[in-house]
Copies of this chain bind each other. A is one copy, B any other.
Amino acid sequence: MRNPVLVEVMRGALVESRHRGAVAVVDAEGAAVLTLGDVTLPVYPRSAVKPIQALPLIESGAADRFGFGDEEIALACASHGGEPAHVAVAARMLARAGLEAGALECGAHWPSHQPSSQALARSAAAPSALHNNCSGKHAGFLCVACAAGVDHCSYVGPSHPVQREVRAALESLTGVGLSEDQCGIDGCAIPTFAVPLTALAHAFARFGTGARMGQSRTKAAARIRAAIAAQPYYVAGSGRFCTEIMTRFGARVLVKTGAEGVFCGALPEQGVGIALKCDDGATRAAEVAMAAMIARFLPMSDEERAGLDLRLRPTLRNWNGTTVGGLRPTPDVIPGDPGLEPGETRDP
């Protein structure tokens, strides 16, 4: 099966580039509400499952023990931009557990937030693991280990008690047995297990609604959702899709990006979870496709719709600020979306 084109990149009157992919929208019972393309092929969810990976932090009592509030819990679910506030909260989480940045095993990289990266360069400092976009998740892992009194060394390894807890939470919510032969190593060194998009969407339907989980897990998921809704800046950062969308829609939308074109989310009031992947790994297209699912399934005001449209049909500008094109979802993704201009060819 070949996946449909989900998103087109326009320049002038022509389609310049095309992004194929698959989308699953599933309810908490596991029933498919919408599928596009092959939703049965296992895909690595990468960072898109961070909210689920944060469940042990709450369920173990570690978050309470270290006095974590919304900022810390949101950062534990984050792919953040390495802005100073992100770095400060990650450092605070570690300090509460009596640890320093050296305990992080995620590796270091320059902040993806360009002004923060430039400011760091100006200060003549090199980035540390605290600037890694996953530092909040890793700080959370370390806190789980410390609260349980287990050695935190090699906490990124698949056999460490923390990763076993994380894996169990993913297996329980996806309903899929995770397999070592469908396991890769993520950018931040932890295991990433491939699962079908339908199972990821099912997991997010459960996580978003609290349905079909044990009572303590329902409560833990609610606490994570509330933290993210209260502090969406700490899940991504300035100018970022996840932060902007959840700032706009509050607790009505949960969205989380992952590397290589994966996006997961939930619309709690609609009772559905969403999981999608662009075949080619493109974040720009995954964002448009996720915006399209929100536009399609979430009732909203005209003002909200106009705001969402900036992410649904983002404009491309050149270095002089001139509009040269833009991205748009195809009619496969949003039926009735404005059609082709004369002379355009959509997909040969």
Contacts and interface: CB of A to CB of B under 8 A. Distances in A.
Interface string A191-225: 01010000000000000000000000000000000
A324 B185 contact: yes
Contacts of A132: 319
A44 B16 contact: yes
A189 B320 contact: yes
A189 B110 contact: no
A106 interface: yes
A345 B40 CA distance: 12
Contact of A14 (B105, B182, B280): B182
Contacts of A110: 114, 118
Number of this chain's copies in the assembly equals 2
Contacts of A44: 11-12, 14, 16
A319 B17 contact: no
Contact of A122 (B17, B43, B121): B121
Contacts of A345: 41
Contacts of A117: 118, 121
B319 A9 contact: no
Interface string A314-342: 00001111101100000000000000000
Contacts of A2: 2, 347-348
A14 B184 contact: yes
A19 B282 CA distance: 10
A2 to B, nearest CB: 6
A313 to B, nearest CB: 17
Given A14-B42, A122-B122, A189-B322, 13 more contacts: A2-B347, A11-B185, A12-B185, A17-B280, A20-B280, A41-B345, A107-B318, A107-B320, A109-B319, A184-B325, A185-B324, A186-B324, A189-B318
Name the 9 nearest CB pairs between A and B, nearest first.
A107-B319, A12-B184, A17-B281, A11-B184, A118-B121, A280-B280, A121-B121, A107-B320, A185-B324
12 contacts: A11-B184, A12-B44, A12-B182, A13-B182, A14-B184, A16-B43, A17-B279, A107-B320, A188-B318, A189-B318, A278-B280, A281-B282
